[in-house]
């Protein structure tokens, strides 16, 4: 007889909490007080942000890093530096956070959604070429959950069609594709340091690039349109103050020292968990491709096949949560079904209207993405993977217990 489910009043598999996030210690405390007492709080006053820019760029294998306020403005600055303008089209996946597409709209250009590959949860390069028109200027692949997108195929398409590639690496700090770090493969990388991210200072972002000229453009745009070596009151392009401050830079310098150990732990736990849960009928972990030489594991992702599992995703998620394991069904609908897209609520940004394609996001359909949103996708957040082997075994035990009780759950 299967053990009684917690959702039916049985004892939960687990009652202790999983590891907390963010992780910090005396190093961060010392650094914040040091910045405070220095009185050098702005980027132009101190060295913390400049040091972090150098260190993080080097960490990614990129020549330049330009630290900014968040991982949305970093995408927008990269697009602006690449010359994206009204009427241009930019290819993006529809299974991602709002920013990947809204940054395009905020450059007065039009995001064009291309469906993903169900195994990897990443944009499907086979579908990208079908979406290219004479107005297409760029592609923004997202390394979803920390698994690098198929960059060889994407860069080959970009070369054929003369497109800019901006890697949205908000989930992929330290992840590697064929031994190369995410953020150093496309023309630009864009990272977020928002509080949930694997490298965080609460809010923040950075643009990485190997191109000296594009880097100079980004640096100017993030600094009110000033140019290197130019006078303070001289603004060359429409821009804004998007600079990171010294407290954020100081925190990130400490957090970066922790990143590699954390990646090692997440990767060992993530790979172990995938190996264990895939043995349960109807549980399909994100497929780690051969090209992924280091998984960022911002999320641990599984799909369910309700027919094999013997229950709907919602039934499964609710029963596993009751066992003390925090899991969620992920994005509830595709990005193009946001009210903003459905109602074309783009404020003053009308560039999409001049795109050759016109604009009606209500007509967009991406079947793989809809399958993930409406039936199959499950998220687990990265900090669970900072736990012990016993923590992973508890997750497996909860999955197994719920599966064993499928007949019972089908009745309720």
Ligand X SMILES: Cc1ncc(COP(=O)(O)O)c(C=O)c1O
Only one of the segments 64-72, 177-185, 307-315, 400-408 lies at the binding site for ligand X (rule: CB under 6 A); that segment is: 64-72
In this structure, are residues 111 and 130 in contact, taking their beta carbons and an 8 Å threshold? Answer: no
Catalytic residue among 37, 233, 390, 411: 233
321 is catalytic: no
Cα four-point dihedral sign 12, 16, 17, 18? negative
Q: Residue from 168, 267, 323, 394 that binds ligand X (CB under 6 A)?
A: 168
Helix or strand or coil: residue 390?
helix
Backbone phi, then psi, for 319, in 5-degree steps?
-70, -40
Instruction: Name which of 147 and 402 has its Cβ closer to ligand X.
Output: 147
CA 379/CA 251 separation, integer angstroms: 27
55 is catalytic: no
- Would you count residue 97 as binding ligand X (CB under 6 A)? yes
30 is catalytic: no
- Would you count residue 192 as binding ligand X (CB under 6 A)? yes
- Would you count residue 170 as binding ligand X (CB under 6 A)? yes
Q: What is the DSSP letter of 303?
A: E
Q: Closest separation between CB of residue 187 and ligand X, Å?
A: 17
Instruction: Name which of 102 and 315 has its Cβ closer to ligand X.
Output: 102
Binding mask 107-146 for ligand X (x = CB under 6 A): -----------------------------------x----
Only one of the segments 91-99, 276-284, 309-317, 354-362 lies at the binding site for ligand X (rule: CB under 6 A); that segment is: 91-99
168 is catalytic: yes
197 is catalytic: yes
Q: Which residues, other chains included, contact 18 with Cβ-Cβ below 8 Å and sequence gap of 6+?
A: 326, 383, 384, 387, 391
Q: How many CA atoms lie within 13 A of 232 on its CB side?
A: 1
Q: Closest separation between CB of residue 93 and ligand X, Å?
A: 9
Q: Closest separation between CB of residue 205 and ligand X, Å?
A: 5
Q: Which residues, other chains included, contact 360 with Cβ-Cβ below 8 Å and sequence gap of 6+?
A: none
260 is catalytic: no
Q: How far is CA 7 from CA 10, 46, 77, 328, in A?
A: 7, 54, 48, 16
Q: Residue from 14, 46, 49, 71 that binds ligand X (CB under 6 A)?
A: 71
- Would you count residue 100 as binding ligand X (CB under 6 A)? yes
- Would you count residue 70 as binding ligand X (CB under 6 A)? yes
Q: Is 83 left (phi over 0), alpha (psi -120 to 50) or beta?
A: left
User: Counting Cβ atoms within 10 Å, is residue 371 exposed (0-12), middle (13-18) or buried (19+)?
Assistant: middle
- Would you count residue 24 as binding ligand X (CB under 6 A)? no
247 is catalytic: no
- Would you count residue 208 as binding ligand X (CB under 6 A)? no
In this structure, are residues 283 and 378 in contact, taking their beta carbons and an 8 Å threshold? Answer: no
Q: Residue from 64, 171, 294, 401 that binds ligand X (CB under 6 A)?
A: 171
Q: Is 175 left (phi over 0), alpha (psi -120 to 50) or beta?
A: beta
Q: Which of 203, 209, 201, 145 is nearest to 183 (CA)?
A: 209
243 is catalytic: yes
List residues binding ligand X (CB under 6 A).
70-72, 96-97, 99-100, 142, 168, 170-171, 192, 194, 205
* Residues belonging to the active site: 97, 168, 171, 194, 197, 226, 233, 243
């Amino acid at each position: 007889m299967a053990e009684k489910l917690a959702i039916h009043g049985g004892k939960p598999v687990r009652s202790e909490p999983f590891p907390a996030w963010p992780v910090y210690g005396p190093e961060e405390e010392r650094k914040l007080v040091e910045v405070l007492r220095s009185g050098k709080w702005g980027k132009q006053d101190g060295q913390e942000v400049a040091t972090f820019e150098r260190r993080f760029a080097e960490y990614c294998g990129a020549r330049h890093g330009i630290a900014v306020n968040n991982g949305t403005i970093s995408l927008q600055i990269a697009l602006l530096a690449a010359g994206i303008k009204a009427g241009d089209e930019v290819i993006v996946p529809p299974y991602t956070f709002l920013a990947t597409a809204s940054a395009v709209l905020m450059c007065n250009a039009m995001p064009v959604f291309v469906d993903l590959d169900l195994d990897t949860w990443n944009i499907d390069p086979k579908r990208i070429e079908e979406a290219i028109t004479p107005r297409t200027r760029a592609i923004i692949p997202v390394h979803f959950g920390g698994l690098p997108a198929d960059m060889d195929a994407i860069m080959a398409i970009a070369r054929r069609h003369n497109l800019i590639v901006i890697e949205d690496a908000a989930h992929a700090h330290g992840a590697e594709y064929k031994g190369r770090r995410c953020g150093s493969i496309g023309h630009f990388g864009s990272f977020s340091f928002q509080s949930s991210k694997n490298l965080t200072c609460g809010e923040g972002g950075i643009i990485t690039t190997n191109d000296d000229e594009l880097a100079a453009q980004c640096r100017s745009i993030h600094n009110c349109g000033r140019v290197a070596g130019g006078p303070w009151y001289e603004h060359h392009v429409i821009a804004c103050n998007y600079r990171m401050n010294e407290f954020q830079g100081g925190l990130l310098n400490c957090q970066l020292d922790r990143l590699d150990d954390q990646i090692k732990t997440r990767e060992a736990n993530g790979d172990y968990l995938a190996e264990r849960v895939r043995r349960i009928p109807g549980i399909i972990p994100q497929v780690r491709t051969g090209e992924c030489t280091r998984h960022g594991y911002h999320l641990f992702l599984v799909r369910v096949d309700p027919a094999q599992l013997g229950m709907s995703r919602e039934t499964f998620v609710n029963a596993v949560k009751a066992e003390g394991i925090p899991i969620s069904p992920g994005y509830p609908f595709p990005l193009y079904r946001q009210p903003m897209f459905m109602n074309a609520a783009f404020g003053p940004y009308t560039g999409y209207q001049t795109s050759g394609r016109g604009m009606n996001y209500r007509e967009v359909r991406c079947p793989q993405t809809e399958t993930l949103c409406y039936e199959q996708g499950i998220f687990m957040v990265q900090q669970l993977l900072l736990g012990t082997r016993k923590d992973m075994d508890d997750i497996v035990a909860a999955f197994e217990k719920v599966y064993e009780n499928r007949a019972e759950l089908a009745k309720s």
